[in-house]
Amino acid sequence: MTDGKDNEHLVRALALSHDMLAAAEKANWQSLGSLDAERLELLKSFWLETKRADAADRTLLAEISKINDRTIGLVEHLRRSKGRDIDMAAVGRRAVAAYSTIRLQR
């Protein structure tokens, strides 16, 4: 069982998880990284001070995990989308290069 201080770590980590999801939705990568580092420290502190998580703690941890999964999914989706954009730009550059040597015939 935990005391109120440990639970505060999880409540703050949950709030940071929501902030991380919002940062991912805005593609704010710098903010996302700093929020993740702060949340990691809170979770480490929680586990250092806690022998066993009670039901309330497990509920908070499950919610943090659920939001984290959504954030990771969104980031992965955005990464793949950006990769497709880069691939299409490369195709366009190759097409321009291929056709730029052909002069217009009159």
Segments making up each domain of the chain, as ranges: 4-78
CA distance from start to end of the chain: 85
- On whether the CB atoms of residues 39 and 17 are closer than 8 A, the answer is yes
| Strand, coil or helix: 9 | helix
- The amino acid that residue 40 corresponds to is L
Structural element, H or E, at residue 73: helix 55-100
pLDDT 10s per residue in the chain (106 long)? 445 555 899 999 999 999 999 999 999 999 999 999 999 999 999 999 888 889 999 999 999 999 999 999 999 998 888 788 787 888 888 878 777 777 655 5
Q: What pLDDT does 1 receive? A: 44
Q: What pLDDT does 61 receive? A: 96
Q: What pLDDT does 65 receive? A: 97
Q: How far is residue 75's CA from residue 35's CA, in Å, rounded to a whole number?
A: 14
Q: What pLDDT does 2 receive? A: 47
Q: Report CA dihedral (89, 91, 94, 100) to the nearest 10 degrees.
A: -80
| Strand, coil or helix: 62 | helix
Residue at token pair 């929680």 = 46
pTM for the complete prediction? Answer: 0.74
